[in-house]
Amino acid sequence: MQKEKWQIYTRGTIPLHRIDIFNHLREAALKHNKKYFCEALYACENSKVWWAWDKKGIKEWSEILIQSLSQKESRSTYYKKYEDFSQRAIKAAEIIRATNLSEFSNNELVKLYNYLEKESSYASGFTNIDLDVFDIFFEEFLKNKIKEKADLSEIFFTDIYRELSAPVYQTFISKEEEEIIALAALKREERKKSAKKIYDDFWWVSLGWENIIPRDIKYYEKEITKYSRKKNLKEIIAEIARRRKDVSKKRKNIIKKYKLGDEIEELLRVLDKFVYFHDLRKEMQVRVFYSFNLLLSEAAKRFGIKEKNKEWYSHSEIISVLKGKKIDIKEIEKRRKAVLVLVDKSGVKIFSGSEAVRRRKKELEEEIKNVSELKGMSATKGRVIARAKVCNGIEEARKKVKKGDVLVVGMTLPDYVPVMKIASAIITDEGGITCHAAIISRELKIPCIIGTKIATKVLRDGDLVEVDADQGVIKIIK
């Protein structure tokens, strides 16, 4: 059933509460695209999450989105809406983070919870569908437009497209590193004062779907001290700036050489904007996760909810708890073992325990036949022969991946960066040219192949693989 119906993404454990945006998705579809987005699915069991969109639905959605982005006036309106919704959610999350929740009554906590729910709902519904749809469909749309303008062989086109689509936007991870390096160049007494500012700006960077524990100020003090011992800080800063200039220069030269014209240049600017939107969505999501977690922790203390159970309540169930209603604890504990949520025209349905496992197998299981070679999209060039480490989430990646291994994962997220830095190559199931793995692998200059669809299912820990990121091919040697 999987092949015909679902576009699937996999991650490590993501508790139900953290991903409970299902009603927001339906409301966003109705409000912004004048229709319900019919079906989506979330399942979590054995430390693995599946998130899936109905392929037919997202194809229809893509036509609306690309049409909107193809026209200057509607594109400008779209950009403003995306920015406004995201900043609205971030502002609400910061208000909750700055609040001493212990001083509020249960009824006041309900109001605070509903406030964060409402203020983040616009961004949660609007951005979560659109970015995934963009990654899947806009890339093919852009490729076809370029091919109409330039008659190139497939191999040469891959090289050209890789250079053209390299984003000029500086990611928040790159900004964080640049600021750390800049502070490291200061005198010791000034460095200590400045660590607080960089913490205030970037405390949330390490958060993700799978991790809700932020960095503390000591992390930044250590990083600044580590860089301060380097003697070539000015050269490092200059190299970061030079790389960004080189990306813009290469793009301009290719556009001029192949006479690609204004339309392609404008579409590449759209691509750049969505690289920024990826970062903005991530910031919005993790700040909101964190503030919801603060509210959950306060509710857990007051109502005797176990720490391990608190994030397996749905949003509506937490409101019920705060209002003094009883929730079946056996149902919550079953969800820790297995849970599945199905979103369709009739609404949102939650299944727990063995029924969730049965539904997941029915909806998502797929037979993978013997495969010795995989193909994907080359995000960063290079060739590597090394051992594969197949990781289901960041915790597995931290435990498994050693220096020189090939990281194989559904998709990387910001908390994967320390692991990515020691990997010799990166392979993902998912992603387009604006995805996290593609962008960070360029910054780290690590060979990367994205969008293989089945790498985590085919490859096994310890497989010796040849990663040919020049051609987008992975061969299993033994």
- Provide DSSP, 134-165: HHHHHHHHHHHHHHHH----HHHHHHHHHHHH
Read off the pLDDT of each residue in 209-222 and give the average, rounded to a whole number: 91
For 128, residues 6+ apart whose C-beta sits below 8 A from its C-beta are: 21, 24, 25, 281
Same domain, yes or no, for 209 and 273?
no
Same domain, yes or no, for 197 and 299?
no
Structure tokens at 166: 């390299």
Same domain, yes or no, for 298 and 324?
yes
Same domain, yes or no, for 240 and 331?
no
- Give the whole-angstrom CA distance, residue 70 versus residue 309: 46
Same domain, yes or no, for 99 and 191?
no
Choosing from 230, 254, 278, the residue where a domain stops is 254
Among the listed ranges 182-196, 273-287, 411-425, which one has the minimum average pLDDT value?
Answer: 182-196
pLDDT tens-digit readout, 3-33: 578 999 999 999 999 999 888 877 776 666 5
Residue 129's closest CA among 220, 215, 60?
60
Given this model, what pLDDT does residue 35 score? 57
Same domain, yes or no, for 343 and 397?
no
Q: Rank 26-35, 71-80, 98-107 by mean pLDDT and report only the highest.
A: 98-107
Read off the pLDDT of each residue in 337-350 and give the average, rounded to a whole number: 91
Read off the pLDDT of each residue in 214-239 and give the average, rounded to a whole number: 89
Q: Which domain holds residue 202?
A: 172-254
What does pTM read for this prediction? Answer: 0.90
pLDDT tens-digit readout, 194-213: 888 899 999 999 898 998 89
Structure tokens at 447: 């060979």
Same domain, yes or no, for 459 and 426?
yes
Does 162 fall in a domain?
no
pLDDT tens-digit readout, 154-175: 767 888 888 898 888 888 888 9
Give one DSSP letter per residue of 394-452, joined into a string: HHHHHHH--TTPEEEES---GGGHHHHHH-SEEEESS--TTSHHHHHHHHHT--EEE--
Q: Which residues pair with 7 in a beta bridge?
A: 53
Q: What is the overall mean pLDDT for the chain?
A: 90
Total count of domains within the chain? 3
Same domain, yes or no, for 444 and 337?
no
Given this model, what pLDDT does residue 1 score? 45
Same domain, yes or no, for 349 and 380?
no
Does 264 fall in a domain?
no
pLDDT tens-digit readout, 285-305: 999 999 999 999 999 999 999
- Give the whole-angstrom CA distance, residue 360 versus residue 50: 9
Residue 16's closest CA among 49, 53, 40?
49
Same domain, yes or no, for 20 and 99?
yes
Same domain, yes or no, for 106 and 141?
yes
Does 410 fall in a domain?
yes
